[in-house]
Amino acid sequence: MTTTETELKALMLASQDGDAAAHRMLLERLSRHLRAYYKGKLARMGRSATEAEDLVQEAVLAIHLQRHTYDPQELLTPWVHAIARYKLIDFLRRNRASVADVPIDEADEITANDDHLSAESSFDVRRLLKHLPEKMQCSIEAVKLEGLSVAEAALRCGISESGVKVNIHRGLKTLAALIAQRTQT
C-alpha cells in the first residue's frame, strides 16, 4: 500500500466515523488528485480545464454522498477512481462526445453501464438544491441529474447556454460549500 493510499484511507475511515476535519481534508486532497486526473484525460481529447473543474466538483459531491458505501476492507483509491471514471463517462455522454474524440484505450468505457446514486443520496442532493436560486437549481437538475444537454437545459430554464454553464459551475461550488459546512456540525 502506498503512502498516499494509507493516508487517504485513514482520512476516509475517520470521515466515516464522523470526523468533520478529516472529511474536509479528504475532500481537499482528493480534489487535487481528481483535478490532475481530469485535466490529463480532457486535454488528450482537446477539452478545457473549466470542464475538468466541473468534473472535480461532481466527483467530490458523489464521493461525499456515497462515502457510506466504501468498504474499509478494500483499497480506497480504486473506489475513488471508479467514481471519477463514471463521472467522466457521464460527462462525455452529456456532451455528446463521439468515440472518435476518446483515446482508443478508453473508448469501451463510453458505453459502460453507469452506477446510479442510491435513492437516499438522490434525495439528499435534491434537498440541498433547494438552497440554490431557482435558475441554478433548474440548470443543475436538467444537466447533471436528468442528463439534458446544455442547449436543452437553456431552453427549459429560460436562460442562455452560457448562463446554464455558469449556474452549474457556481451551483456545484455552492453545494460543495454547503456539504462542507454541514459536515462541520
In CATH, what number is assigned to the domain containing residue 130?
A: 1.10.10.10
Residue 121 has pLDDT above 80, yes or no: no
Give the model confidence (pLDDT) of 55-108 as tens digits: 999 999 999 888 888 899 999 999 999 999 888 888 888 776 544 444 544 444
Mean pLDDT of 22-26: 92
Q: Would you state the cell numbers that stand for residue 138, as one nine-digit string?
A: 433548474
Do 157 and 106 have their domain in common?
Answer: no
Bigger pLDDT: 7 or 92?
7
| pLDDT score of 19 more than 60 | yes
| Count of structural domains within the chain | 2
Domain encompassing residue 125: 121-184
Query: Average pLDDT over the chain, rounded to whole?
Result: 80
- Confidence (pLDDT) at 13: 94
- Same domain for 24 and 103, yes or no, is yes
Q: Is there a single domain that holds both residue 29 and residue 87?
A: yes
> Do 81 and 12 belong together in one domain?
yes
Span 103-130, mean pLDDT?
A: 51
Overall pTM surpassing 0.95 (yes/no) = no
Task: Indicate if 73 and 104 belong to the same structural domain.
Answer: yes
Identify whether residues 130 and 74 lie together within a single domain.
no
For the domain that residue 3 is a member of, what is the CATH number?
Answer: 1.10.1740.10
Quick check: 72 and 11 in contact, CB under 8 A?
Answer: no
- Which pLDDT score is estimated for 111? 39
For the residues 136-154, what does the mean pLDDT come to? 87
The pLDDT value given to residue 8: 93
Do 79 and 18 share a structural domain? yes
Does residue 158 have a pLDDT over 90? yes
- pLDDT grade, residue 148 (50/70/90)? confident
Do 110 and 149 share a structural domain? no
Among residues 84, 114, 144, the one where a domain terminates is 114
Question: In Å, what is the CA distance from 115 to each residue of 78, 85, 125, 151, 183?
Answer: 15, 11, 16, 25, 25
